[in-house]
Structures are given as C-alpha cells and as structure tokens.
Structure 1
C-alpha cells in the first residue's frame, strides 16, 4: 500500500464548538454525486477515480488504507451491517467488489496487495449500493434495474425491474429482510411490487427505513421529504410531506425571535445564516438520509423521560445538514456549511452521516460539487441542538410558579378583608343546650353509612377514545352557529355561546331546559366559568365583556366599551378569579374586578360591581390576537396568546413583559389554544402542566412544550378533508372525559361517549 503524498491534511480545525474539520483530501478526479460510506469507525470514499480510500474516524493518525482493483471510476460505496468481519462494497461500471477490512489490513502489514472479491461485472453505472442486514446479499442499483447479488456464491439472485427511470436508492426492511424498497427518478417507489406514484415534481435521490417508527422516508431533488407508513395493513400510505426549505426558514425565524427576547447581555452572537438580508438557497436536494439518536440530549434538556424521546434522522443536502424529528416533523438542528467560513467545502455533491447511540458526536463525510475535495467533519450534537432553543440555561418557562410575586408585578395586590357583623346568638333553654351537647352514641368514632353521598362512577384507565354519539341537542331553530362551549369546573354545567347574541347553560347530560342569558348586541365569541362556578363570563363582538350569576340568571357586571380600543376576541377569569384577561386588537389587558351581589331596593339600577384596568401589554408585532389561554385553577404567571401573523406568544405577567415568541406556529393563524389547566378528578405529573395544544384551520393540531417551545407531537388531521367545517371550539369534561364539539353547520353540538 502506498501513502498518497500531498493529498491528506488533518488537524483540529478552527470552526468553533459546533463543527470541526478533521480531514481534507484532494482527489485528482471529481467525486461529486457519488454514494459515500460513513460508519462508526471508518469512512470510505473514492480517491483519484478508481481507488477506494478508507479513513479511520476513531484515530485519525492511522495511515489511510488505499484499495485498488477497479479500472473505471468508483460511483458507489457502502459498509456492511455486521461488525466482524466488517465488509465494504464498492461499484463501478466494470466491477462490483466486496472487501474485508480486517483481511486487507493484515495483507498490508505483510507487504501484500489486498484484493477484493468480484460480485458482478459490467452491470452498468451503479448509483447506489446496499448490503442486506446479514450481509448475505447486495443490492446494486444500475440504470432502471436492481441486481440482487449473493455475496457468498458471487452469483446473481434476481434482477428487479419495473422502474421507468434510473434507480437512485434502495433499502432493505430491517424487520423483514426479504422486502426491499427502491426509489427512482421516475418519481415512484417500489416495495417488492408496483406501488402508486405519489411524487409529481422531482426525482427521488435518497431513502431511509426507520425501524422504531416503522416509516419509510424518501428524499427528492427539490428538497421534499415523503414519509410513508410501513405498518402492517397501512398499505404504505403517505403520512406527510415535508418541505425542507420552508422548515429551515421557519427554524431560523424561531431562533431569531428567541434571541431577540433575551436580555442584551445573554444573547449569543448570530450565525452568518441568520444575518438579515442574506438570501436562502433555491433548493435543498436531499443527497442522503441517516438515523440520528438524540434521546439523551432531548430528555436531559426538557426533563422528559427517555421513553418519550422521538426518533430523528439526519438529512444531508448540498447546502448543509439538518436533524428532523419524525414525531412532529420539525427541525431539531440546522448546520449550514456557509455559516462556517473555515470549512473547505461550502457546497456538497455527496455526503454520508453516522452518529452512534448515546454518543455526543457525529461523523459526516463530504465531497465537493466542484473539484475533487473530500472532507471528514466531526459534529458536536449538543452544540448543534442547543441552537434551536435560544433561551439559554435556566430560562425555561414553567406554568407552575417558581418564585413569589414581585413587588413591581401587576399581579401584586391586596385583598381588602370584608368585615361582617356576626349574627346575634340565639338564646336557648338550658335543657335544649344540655341535650344538644351530648353525643348520640357511646363511642367517639362514628362510621358513615355512605347514604349521604352519591355512588362514584370510575372511568377505566385503559379505554379507547370516544367515538359513539351519546346525546345531541338543537341550540336554535334559526341560522345561529355555536361559537364556543365550555364545561364548568365541577363538570355539572355546560355553557355555550351563540351567534344570535345569546348564551345558554345546559346540564352536563344535555337534559332539561337551558338557562338563557341575553343582553349582548353581537355574537358571543367566548364563554368562561369562574373557579368557584358561581359566575359566567361572556365576551361578544359588541365589545363588552359581561359577568352573569348562574344562580340568579342575571347580569352582575358589565364592562364598558370605552376601555377597549377594538372588539374583544377572547376573555377569561384569571389568577383564581382575581382578574379578568381580555384581548382587544394587538393588546392584552388585565382587569381587576370586584363583584357585589348585594341589592339596594331604592337604587336597583345602580351597579355595585366594579372593574378597573390594571395593566396593558402589547404583542411583539402589530397583529391582532386571535386566541387567549391562561390557568385559573391555581396561581400561574404565564399567559398564552395567538396572533393573526401565525405566531404564539408567551407573556410573563409577574415580570410584566413578553417571555417568548413562537414564529410560524402553523401555516395559518391559530384560532384556539388549549392548556392543561389541571383537574380535581385526576392527579397528574407536574411536567404535563407545561403542555398546550394549538389548532388552525387546515393545519391540524400541534402539541407544544413550554419548557423548550418545541412541538411534542403533531396530529396529522387535515380539516380541509372533512365533510363539514372544523369546529370553532373543543372542550373536554374532566369528570366524564367526554369531548364537546361546537360546529358551524348545522348549529348543533354533541357529546361523544
């Protein structure tokens, strides 16, 4: 074996704490658009056309191994799946060769020339190679065919045909080794037999089969990722399509917004890719896909259990590397080559990635699209993933308070004690008093018979979601849509706001005659119960929030329109009924209310209840607030709002400022935010209080975590595919765990059981 002179340069690099260039190789022949091999211990790539170079990633000081045997330029390289012996397969237009690295190194030490086994000859230009999980078969993608070669007998097992264009990638199913999936430039993929073509715009370049999620991921030349389900009886249906360019732009905007929300002294320097005015690349061709294990990193950052971590994958493109979460299809990290000026390769022609489970580093092998440069990168996952949060250590948000109320906080107030004159004691005879003070039984402890309490119906822990319609009521006989519904805290009552200016209160089982609350001059957009269940708050498009007494079915407080510059979209009780939160245009308003139900027979017209504004807080951008959510069952400082500019903003009322902004939360404006506000019927872990869900028309439901401001789970429900429009409001009774849906057409709602 000869050592190439003047080609290799190694060192620690100088790119910062995120990425380091460990090796740079100059090849005489261009190596763009060549399949590369990157493993746990070695990287393999073509050198000078027909030579195969194997470089150690564990110890870069080892002399690179140069394997010769091909006469034509090598176009594809792949490693085997078994550890011992470690095999490597290479292909060119003349030969498909299999090498054993252990045998090759032994021959080099003895001064002999290593030779590989020829599996096939003159198969054509191979674009992709893959060995089976047991290394007994090799799939060679040449032209529009896949040659299945036996690595032991060196014979052709089968030739798979059917693609109308060149086959660009093929993968073996890990749990069913007899199944092979292939993709082609004809914009289709095949699983042992012909499958419907889902792709219409661009050729397929890469493929990955994830064993944990049982999903097939195919990458296109236009930067699209197609995800298909391989679960039995799913019939390889398409799960989703991911636009990597839009995802990366959204990722950059979110990082930028979180950096701006930090104090000046805590802000990190911005990367070059986040500089204002820099143009993004036109497309992101998906050159390669590889699994990525971030379970330890994500669980340690957000405090989740390791079992809650989702599978991730590396996405290699010509402009950089991306880490995609397969549970929510959001980016966990972005590395752009041009952000690191000291990297030798700024535009990649081929790439291969490898990261071992439990390790903090990953290896990436790159080739330049221009010239013959080959580089090996070492990536620190912790530094790369840390950039997605932007909040810094110790600044994660929490619904549960972590400290006392500040003296400068708008929540700092004193409740005046109401001094009531105690009633005069009634004089009783001595005989009656003596009898009253005597016990009824001769022992001190009395066991209750249980007749005074109603029997409790336990909800089974293991049960399927409710799907059967249990009850249905017609709200109005005219064209009046139900705009909002909400259960009371004890689960006994259900309030509903209608477009005909009325608010109705039903029993939870939808029986009996509802209580009617009238007085608004516009459609009722919000109804909210107080913590004690005595008061009902309603907000209307007429700009007046009103508080009603459930017991007397009458108005007890009406806030004037002069306090709000624009119509109220949302309103609710807050801080254990001490305040009322209202959203008016781009402002969040905090009102201190005092409800007095005492009556003066002379001045019945005079309202004794009063309300005064305490604090106003504008949104980060001049956008109208579309939804509002805050916890009222216990003390919490955080308030969530959604804007018409597709953002979700978190306010900290203890500090009196905006705490965080989530840019591009949905593809359309969010029209409802649902928080886990606790329940008196169930006990929950404290981590789950930091979860909240958002929904937008046509964009499904997303579950978020306040601690990381990232998506935990994405419910792929396309409301545009439903027969009827999406409900304006969804609410769940915690005592019965039954959802209530309010629909626009027809004006009815139903309880599912």
Structure 2
C-alpha cells in the first residue's frame, strides 16, 4: 500500500478560511477565479470585481470598470507588482493591486488599464512568465495581448471548437499551449505558427493544461477523468509518456485498502460513494516547493468536482485522496472550478466555486513538514536482495533481510554423498576369486617389483618463455583480459547486425547472454535451442530434444552448464560439446502444467522450477561423463528440497531470482495479478503485493548487474514487471512500491519482455509495433525507438560485458544494436 486515504485525520487538514456569496443570478460554477498567496478575486453582482485579502479577511476592495458580466479572473506570476486581470465581453482590464489599494485609501476610485476591447466572452486568462503578455481565450481563438497597453500582439486561430484553456510555457515565454472542446491541443509560437498539433485525445472536451517544470512535461486533463502527460522537448514534438483514467486509479487503491481492512479501521475516504461521481479534471497543479523532492518531480494535485487527489504521473499511483464530503464544516462539497496558489510553509490555498450555487470559498490545505511525497507511502523495513551474513563475502552489507542462514532454512539442504570407504563389488569379488598380479615371482627382475615406484609420469618445462605474435595481444591459451563495463556510454541505438535463426519464420521465445558475454542462447518455437557466439561469427550449434516450443533458457553462474525448459513440461541441463542433455527432468507425471520459469539459483547450488501454482526448489548433481556400456544411463541426480505455493492458489506466471551472488529473495508472480516476495532463508512469504498490474504479470526481471560493472547496493533492489495491455513498471523491493512506469511501447497480446542494462542506467522493452524501446531509468519517456524489425519484438537482453542490446522477434530474427551515430552502417543481411 502506497497511499494515505485519510480525510480529516492528523496527516492532512482542509480549513475553510472564507466563504462569499457572489450575489448574482449568473451561473459562475465553471468560471475561472483568481487566487494568489495573499489575495483572491471573484465577480460581485456580475459586473464588479471583489478583491479579498487572505492575510486580513476584513480588508476588501471592490473594483468597477466592466460594463458586462465578468467571465474570467487571474493573478499575475510576479508578486511585485502584483497584477490582476479580469475579462468580460467588452473589456480585458489589468489592475495593479497595490496601486488600487493606495487609491482607495486616498478616496479615489481605483482604475485599471484596458488592454483589450470587444473580444467576445473570454473563458480563460493566463499571464506569461514575467507578466509581459496576457493570453485570452474567446471562442476558437487565442488573443495575445500586452499587459502594459491596449495592443493585440497576435491572434492564434486553428481550433475547430471553442477553447477551454491556454497556458504559456514557464521556461519559454514565447511558446503557448492551447486546448479546446475539439479534444486536441496545439503548441504555438507567438508569431501565429503552429509548432505542433495533436490528434484527438478523448471523447470528451479537454479542460485543463499544466506544465511540470522539473521534468519538462505537459499534463492535460479531460472532462471524463483522463490524464495525459507528454514530453515537451526543445523541438516541441510532444511524445506521450503516461495516460491514465483517474476513476480507475481511485478504484484500484480503494480495493487495496479493503484488502488491508484491519489496518484501515476508522480511515475515511475508503468506502466508495453509492452514487458514482464523474472525475472531471478541472484543475492540475504541482505540490508546494517546500515539499518537492526527487520523487515529487512527477507529482501533481488533481482538482475534481468531489475532491483533491495527489497523483504521481511517473507511477500512476495515488498518494493522497481528499474527499470534500469527509469535511462536514465545508460549505461547498461539489466544486465547479478550482484556482490554486501556494501559501506560507507547507500550505496551499484553493478558491473553489459551488457547482449548484453562486458561491465561492477559500480553502487552505496544510501538509505537515514530515508529510512529504516520500513519506506518503508505506515503507517495509527489512526487505532487500542483498543479505548480511558471515558467509556472504562478496556483498556483506548490514541491515538486510534474514541475516545468516537459519538452521532450518531450505538453503541448508545438501545432497547425500556416497561413502568413499564403501566400494562396489566387482564380478571377481562376487565370485570369491581374489585378484592377483600377473607375475607372482618377486625375484624376477622383469616384473619390476624390485624397482622404486615411479611417481612422476611427466614433468613439463616451466622455465620456457612463450613467444606471441604481435605486441599487446593476449594469448588465447593463457586467458582473456576483461575490461570494465563503461558506465558513462550512451544507450545502444544503432543497428549493427542481424540474422535469421531458421529457414522458416519461428518465434524467438527467449534469449540469454552468458555471464562473460561471449555466448548467446536462444529458445525457438520450432523446439530447438541455438548457441551463438556473441559476435555472430561462425555457425550456430543446434540442440534438439524437446517436443514443443522452448520458452526458457538460463545459464549457470560458472557458464559450464545451461538449462532449457519447454512447453512439453520438461527441463533439460546441457553442457557445451555434447548433444545429449546431462539431466532431463519433468514430463506429465511430474508437472501437470507447462513450466513457466526455470533457472539456476544460489550460485548454482539449486534449481528453481515453476509449474502450476507451485515453485519447486531442487538440489542437483551434474555429471557429464558417460559409461561406455550404459551410454544412455543418466549419471546426474536431482532431489526436491522444497516447494512454495501461491497463497491464492492461482498459477505462477513468472519467477525471478539472482544467481550471481547469494540472495534469499525470490520474486514469484501469479495469475491473480499479485507479486509474492519469498524469503528462502525462512522458507516463507516475506511480503505480498496485490493488483500489481491490470493483467497477470508475464515477465519479471531484477537488476542483476554483471561481473563487469558495479552498482550501489540499493540498485539491486529494483525490478521490472510486464503485463499484457499494461505498461512496464519499475518497483523498489524495500517499499514494494512502483516508482516509475514506462508505457510508450505497445503490448496488447504478446508477452514482450524487458531488461536492465548492466550499468543499471537503461531499460529496454520489446513492443508489438515492430520496434524496441530504450528508456532512461530516471525518466518515463523513451530515449530511443529501435526500428529495423519486421515483426513483434518479443525479447530484449543486454550484453553483460559490452554496451550491446540483442532483440528477438516473432519471425525468428536476431538484431544487435550498439551505441553510436545514426550514420553507422548496418551490416545485417
């Protein structure tokens, strides 16, 4: 659980500071009102403007000058001088607030500066950064006005329906974004040029637009509760980052709280209304600067008719929900429009209008200093991939899960070894005949019994220096010099080579690099396994034996063995140079359902095999030697030491565990959309995350790093999950909280996989639009869209030794991508 659904508890407080009746028969429910840290403004009797001080509630000022009913009000972005702009069908007027107060104290009627005349009914106003320009939305046009004098700088026309809002870009004041009832948005240059025009986004009008300054994103909300976030790069070609349905997000988190009912007793805002309320996105704003943190860069407040919702756009998770119905002291519980400003310390000031009456209220939202976005989620102490133990010499970090191995831990299991003192009787022993030397006479010199036994058969010369051809090259017989993985290199983006795995198209269901990055295993839909060199030079080695498609391949830590699993419910362990598997296990008698996952675990000591609702833990002994007589007798052994079931009884869909170092944590995903974290030191479930996706997770991948790169210990607690019709999610094991979503790729029906780069900086994902996508871990927008594929990209995997990305497609092609310039040549056929 990563939200706080309290209504009027101690964590958040909504106080009504002021309530004003506007005294007009005109409907003002959806009117834009003005709000800043010190003042608020609203129409009074239709044509006048009421300026109310929030510092001193008794200090008010009535401004006159409009001949028609006021339709929009907004404050400037600068505090000195503080400007206020109001619009009606006849005039657009800018008021200097301090000067108006000074004139009123001197007995002079305050006046403003008319900057626009007869523009029609203005529904929205906005100031540019620095308050140099004013954008006025009237009909299907945006009028760009000077805030100093009456001067129309430009008229932006292009929408097919009336506009609803327009905002200047905070970091580029000459760029403006407008939204309309035609359900599109446009990016304008102030010289009447359309820089970018979107397609139709929704079936309902777009109502609100907001710029996220920290992440350089554009956020748009619609009348039917849809929220979009787009990148806003230098060329202003906006790419979709996130799309979510606010109503579904709220429902999903309500279900989480109901599943944790004993812990949510007395918490308001959990029980849904008997009458469903449309979650129209009336207003979008950012949290106060005092609460900004690295994770808060993607958080926004969403103002809806029934309340406020703090939403993290990077994860599509709800941090806080404040329903106005939970505050009986408020005079307005259904809102028509929101206006926002940031007060002192950790407060936010909202001006709201009633949906049914001509009434305006000022609300103050107070968030305690400790209630940052980071603290709004629940932290689960003790979960970590890296354990602390005396035997964990490679990674011994204090404070991690489980500590040393427990006495009753399943990981202490051992295979029983044969007693070396016991010798198998030979045929001569069974017959009672004692074996004797061929020569019995000890005095015969030819027998050799009088000579000292020879103990050294061969003594190699060790003082001879070998010569190599060329200087600086490593001799292949001596070894290979490994270099560190470059941590500052760009992500793979340029196609390098490509090949077809079979004569006829067949899916590449799985692909895996060996730990040293020199070999590649591929499991194909035609029941074969291919072993390539990572350079794709030479011919591949083909291994056959499975009766159905090979869906899983896995390397051992020592790279001597590798494993394959198939839909025929068997898994096999192989070794290089032999076409016969060292170990074959499974079948209909052993596994009643296909094997969903299989891998080596705990530095090759165990095997993890998932089938049906259970995860099986096996000890194994591998022996690749063969008896000349009993050539087909399997000399390897395997023993079941434990099994772990899904708590809900559903089938296991994906499993992940790290084999490159000792770790007790195993991630097990189920068909019920949940993720279970197993602690194999204790042999139980450490934690469970329900409703991780909207569909069952079909792939889970941990940040394993590689032997060529080093990362911080906390980085190993990150893992990825993928689900059909859903995005790729990045999770933090320490909190079991989704920290980011990646959803630019297309995944509607095929189980596309995702993978971490060895440096931990990049994420790759397959896609059904014949592309692979490379993301930066810190950003939800993609870095590269890798094309050159003719079919769906099912699998992606990074080379652990060099910056390379391998992709496998539905039609059986493998493609290799490397960093470089777009002018690099493509060497594929």
TM-score interval, normalised by the smaller of the two chains: 0.7 to 0.9
Cα shift readout 1:255-274 (whole Å, capped 9, x = no counterpart):
656x47xxx5xx24364443
8 Å CA contact 1:517–1:553 kept in 2: the answer is yes
Partner deviation per Cα, 1:482-521 (whole Å, 9 max, x = no partner): 2111111122222222223332322222334444443333
Task: Return closer, same or farther for 1:156/1:672 CA change in 2, 3 Å cut-off.
Answer: same
Bigger drift between 101-110 and 667-676 goes to 101-110
Whether contact under 8 Å (1:79, 1:86) holds in the other structure is yes
Corresponding residue for 1:727? 793
Q: Does 1:143 align with 2:139?
A: yes
Question: Please, which of 678, 683, 691 is the counterpart of residue 718 of structure 2?
Answer: 691
Per the alignment, residue 203 of structure 2 pairs with 201
1:443-487 Cα shifts (integer Å, max 9, x gaps):
xxxxx9976454556665544433444444443335543211111
Residues in 2 aligned to 1:311 and 1:479: alpha-carbon distance in whole angstroms? 43
- Equivalent in the alignment of 2:582: 556
State which of 277, 282, 286 in structure 1 corresponds to 2:281.
Answer: 286
Answer yes or no: is 1:96 the counterpart of 2:92: yes
**1:117, distance to aligned residue in structure 2 (A):** 3.8
Counterpart CA distance in 1 for 2:139 and 2:544 is 74
CA contact (8 A) 1:505 1:514 kept: yes
- Please give the alpha-carbon distance, in whole angstroms, between the structure 2 residues aligned to 1:149 and 1:601: 94
Alpha-carbon distance, 1:699 to partner = 4.6
* 1:502–1:155 distance in 2 versus 1, CA, 3 Å: closer
Q: 1:14 to 1:344 in 2, by over 3 A?
A: farther
Q: Provide the rounded CA distance (Å) in 2 between the counterparts of 1:510 and 1:711.
A: 37
Task: Measure how far apart 1:95 and its partner are.
Answer: 4.1
Question: Per the alignment, do residues 226 and 662 of structure 1 end up closer, same or farther by CA in structure 2, a change over 3 Å counting?
Answer: same
2:561 to 507, 525, 535: 535
- The 1:478/1:250 distance shift into structure 2, 3 A limit, reads same
3-state SS of the aligned residue for 1:248?
Answer: helix
Q: Give the match for residue 182 of structure 1.
A: 178
CA distance in 2, matches of 1:743, 1:254: 37
Mapping of residues 365-380 of structure 1, within 5 Å: 365-371=351-357, 372-380=359-367
CA distance in structure 2 between the partners assigned to 1:609 and 1:47 by the alignment: 89
Q: Give a deviation string over 1:166-218, Cα, whole Å, max 9, x none.
A: 32211122333233332222333342445455345222222223344444333
CA distance in 2 between counterparts of 1:55 and 1:329 reads 37
**Contact 2:485 / 2:708 at 8 angstroms: preserved in 1?**
no
How far apart, CA to CA, are the structure 2 residues paired with 1:96 and 1:614? 79
SS at match of 1:677: coil
Measured after TM superposition, the shift of residue 129 of structure 1 is 1.2
Cα separation, 2, equivalents of 1:388 and 1:563: 46
**Alpha-carbon offset, residue 631 of structure 1:** 0.8
Partners of 2:520 and 2:100 lie apart in 1 by 76
Quickly say closer, same or farther: Cα 1:53–1:593, change in 2 above 3 A. farther
**Distance between the aligned counterparts of 2:685 and 2:481, measured in 1?**
48
Partners of 1:626 and 1:317 lie apart in 2 by 38
Distance 2:173 2:644 in 1: 59
Tell me, in whole angstroms, the C-alpha distance in 2 between the residues paired with 1:109 and 1:576.
82
C-alpha separation in 1, matches of 2:115 and 2:591 = 79
- The residue aligned with 1:398 is 384
**1:328, CA displacement in angstroms?**
5.0
Is the Cα–Cα contact under 8 Å of residues 333 and 384 in structure 1 kept in the other structure?
A: no
Per the alignment, residue 246 of structure 2 pairs with 244
Provide the aligned length of Structure 1 versus Structure 2: 706
Contact 2:139 2:163 (C-alpha < 8 Å) held by counterparts: yes
The equivalences for 1:507-546 within 5 A come to 507-546=533-572
What is the deviation of 1:369? 0.8
Separation in 2 of the partners of 1:64 and 1:406? Answer: 70
**For structure 2, which runs of at least 5 residues remain unmatched after alignment?**
1-6, 388-399, 422-451, 466-471, 747-766, 771-788, 819-829
2:14/2:364 contact within 8 Å kept: yes
Counterpart for residue 712 of structure 1: 740
Q: Deviations over 1:668-722 (max 9, x none)?
A: 5443222211211011122221222233456554433333421325251223433
Is 1:752 the equivalent of 2:817? yes
Partner residue of 2:219?
217
User: Once structures 1 and 2 are overlaid, which stretch shifts more, 404-413 or 206-215?
Assistant: 404-413
**1:291–1:354 Cα contact (<8 Å) kept:** no
1:393 CA drift (Å): 3.9
Q: CA RMSD in A?
A: 3.9
Q: Distance in 1 between matches of 2:661 and 2:200?
A: 49
Bigger shift: residues 101-110 or 675-684:
101-110
In 1, are the aligned partners of 2:650 and 2:671 still within 8 Å (CA)?
Answer: yes
The answer to whether the 8 Å contact 1:15/1:340 transfers is no
Per-residue Cα deviation, 1:38-72 (whole angstroms, up to 9, x for no partner): 33444433456455445555x5x553433331565
Contact 2:769 2:792 in 1 (8 A): no
Kindly indicate whether the alpha-carbon contact (under 8 Å) linking 1:410 and 1:615 is maintained by their aligned counterparts in 2.
Answer: no
Counterpart of 1:4 in structure 2 is none
Indicate yes or no: 2:706 matched with 1:679: yes
Given that 1:35 and 1:128 are in contact with CA atoms closer than 8 Å, whether structure 2 keeps it comes out as yes
State the alpha-carbon separation in 2 of the partners of residues 634 and 55 from structure 1: 65
Compared with structure 1, are the counterparts of its residues 408 and 185 closer, same or farther at alpha carbon in structure 2 (3 Å cutoff)? farther
2:406 matches 1:407: yes
Distance 2:453 2:801 in 1: 42
**Superposition TM-score, scaled by structure 2 size:** 0.75
Matched residue, 2:332: 345
The separation in 1 between residues aligned to 2:697 and 2:156, in whole angstroms, is: 48
- Structure label with greater radius of gyration: 2
**What does the per-residue CA deviation read over 1:539-560, in whole Å, with 9 as the maximum and x for residues that have no partner?**
1212222222336453333334
1: CA distance, partners of 2:647 / 2:418: 44
The alpha-carbon distance between structure 1 residues 202 and 64, as it changes in their structure 2 partners (threshold 3 A), is farther
1:362 aligns with 2:348: yes
Distance change in 2, residues 1:274/1:121 (3 Å): same
Which of 585, 603, 625 is residue 652 of structure 2 equivalent to? Answer: 625
CA gap of 1:98–1:696, structure 2 versus 1, over 3 A, is: same
Match of 2:62 among 53, 62, 67: 67
Match of residue 317 from structure 1:
304
Match of 1:498 among 524, 527, 530: 524
Give the C-alpha shift of residue 118 in structure 1: 4.0
User: Shift in Å at residue 133 of structure 1?
Assistant: 1.6
C-alpha distance in 2, partners of 1:38/1:593? 70
- Distance, in Å, in 1 between the alignment partners of 2:481 and 2:407 is 49
The equivalent residue for 2:778 is none
- The TM-score with structure 1 as length reference comes to 0.82
Aligned to 1:301: none
